[in-house]
Chain A
């Protein structure tokens, strides 16, 4: 957990995020160890390493560590509150939020100069947590805490893709810890200015009739813009972070696969449109939503993104 070396002394790939776990205290690591050792053992055959040379040669990871592994522990920042420091400890350490939300360089190291400027996860866009985040309005601490522990907030939308699993796990974490995480994450971006969310709706401006018809029949029954989220907990798309992002990765993937993660818990739900709409229709709908609900430019190469996202989903 701290050094990225297994019990036989072999170097571990940083896909296991020890570059973050190294910030966890010895006490927490011991607690995790005790918990894991209390779970009955199973027989598990470890899959063979499928990386090609030279990456298959584990000792080269020692070189990666010289460049990217900083084992220094986090010093308490006395200018900040106890809760903020607790939040930073959880986010930088066991939470390893930067593994997805910080961009990586060509060698797979996190770009510490661009901390939380946004990255990728399993094809999804992990949005920036800092000032470069483009949304309809800023997150407050309470909104973040609710979103992180339930996967949804009525003014921001649902945690989808890999973030859905994070929210489901944080739903089991203590309220105090989730609140501390929210305090730290909120401190990374400008604070709310007290204004309510700005709803953009450029309805009726140069929008092709067939795309409007598909949007009306397929989307608008739930995304009804009446401030009434209904049983699927669907928001006005003007509030969606995905729709405001610079690339269409998340919008395309949500349309294709829907939001299925909270099905048994009564959380947000969206049906998958992969069998309902064609690639061209999904691309057209995404651009329509972008044009209607944001003042951002149209996305480039959207059809390519739809085809890529479909291929990723093939088992």
Chain B
């Protein structure tokens, strides 16, 4: 079944079962490897993308439910092919240990900064809660988000 998706500003047609999670389509059919497969159960946040600007677990979003909503992945945040302000802040703060969660962390943090350009520490902690990091890089992630907020 052919389904049309709007991904990072471009229209894409894919021919897959409509129950397939968006994450699998992004990675396996379209070749966007920013979103990661972590738990597959909506528990960890490694697969976070934006749907109409809201951070969303793509591993439990069947493509039948995407409709004409706009999908943005980590790749879609690039500006002129270069990391945007938040992505650069994550690089500058070395806010990655193994790095597996980072793409999801960037996506969730970006959604926060879109609605709240200068969040408090508590607002950051509360908003980032759905995304898990096993390496304990939280303090560096906090610094990166604040660096991007101030810059």
B100 to chain A, nearest CB (A): 17
Bound form: Cα–Cα A232–B59 in Å = 15
Number of interface residues of B (CB under 8 A): 24
On whether A221 and B19 interact (CB within 8 A), knowing A275-B51, A276-B51, A276-B65, the answer reads no
A174 touches B (CB below 8 Å): no
A52 touches B (CB below 8 Å): no
Please name all residues of chain A whose beta carbon is closer than 8 Å to the beta carbon of B65 when the two chains form the complex. Answer: 214, 217-218, 276-278, 281
On whether A276 and B41 interact (CB within 8 A), knowing A213-B17, A213-B18, A217-B20, the answer reads no
Please name all residues of chain B whose beta carbon is closer than 8 Å to the beta carbon of A271 when the two chains form the complex. Answer: 41-43, 57, 60, 130
Please name all residues of chain A whose beta carbon is closer than 8 Å to the beta carbon of B18 when the two chains form the complex. Answer: 209-210, 213, 217
Bound form: Cα–Cα A131–B56 in Å = 41
| Contact bitstring A245-278, B, C-beta under 8 A = 1, else 0 | 0000000000000100001000001111101111
Interface residues of B in 42-73 (CB under 8 A from A): 42-43, 51, 54-57, 60-65, 67
Residue B19 contacts which of A217, A273, A277 (CB distance < 8 angstroms)?
A217
B99 touches A (CB below 8 Å): no
Residue of A nearest to B59 (CB): A221
| Contact bitstring A210-246, B, C-beta under 8 A = 1, else 0 | 1011101110011000000011100000000000000
B43 near A232 (CB under 8 angstroms)?
Answer: yes
A-side interface mostly = loop
B40 touches A (CB below 8 Å): yes
Please name all residues of chain A whose beta carbon is closer than 8 Å to the beta carbon of B34 when the two chains form the complex. Answer: none
Please name all residues of chain B whose beta carbon is closer than 8 Å to the beta carbon of A218 when the two chains form the complex. Answer: 60-62, 65
B8 to chain A, nearest CB (A): 18
Bound form: Cα–Cα A286–B39 in Å = 24
A93 to chain B, nearest CB (A): 35
Bound form: Cα–Cα A213–B16 in Å = 12
On whether A214 and B62 interact (CB within 8 A), knowing A271-B57, A276-B51, A276-B57, the answer reads yes
Residue B40 contacts which of A221, A275, A276, A277 (CB distance < 8 angstroms)?
A221
B64 near A213 (CB under 8 angstroms)?
Answer: yes
Please name all residues of chain B whose beta carbon is closer than 8 Å to the beta carbon of A272 when the two chains form the complex. Answer: 130
B21 touches A (CB below 8 Å): yes
Bound form: Cα–Cα A272–B129 in Å = 12
Query: Which 8 A-B residue pairs are closest in the complex by CB-CB distance?
Result: A217-B62, A271-B42, A216-B19, A213-B18, A213-B64, A217-B19, A275-B54, A213-B19
7 A-B pairs (CB sep. < 8 Å): A213-B17, A217-B64, A217-B65, A218-B65, A263-B129, A277-B65, A281-B65
Residues of A within 8 A of B (CB): 209-210, 212-214, 216-218, 221-222, 230-232, 258, 263, 269-273, 275-278, 281
Given contacts A217-B20, A273-B60, 10 further A-B contacts (CB under 8 A): A210-B64, A213-B19, A217-B62, A217-B65, A218-B65, A230-B41, A271-B57, A276-B51, A276-B61, A277-B65
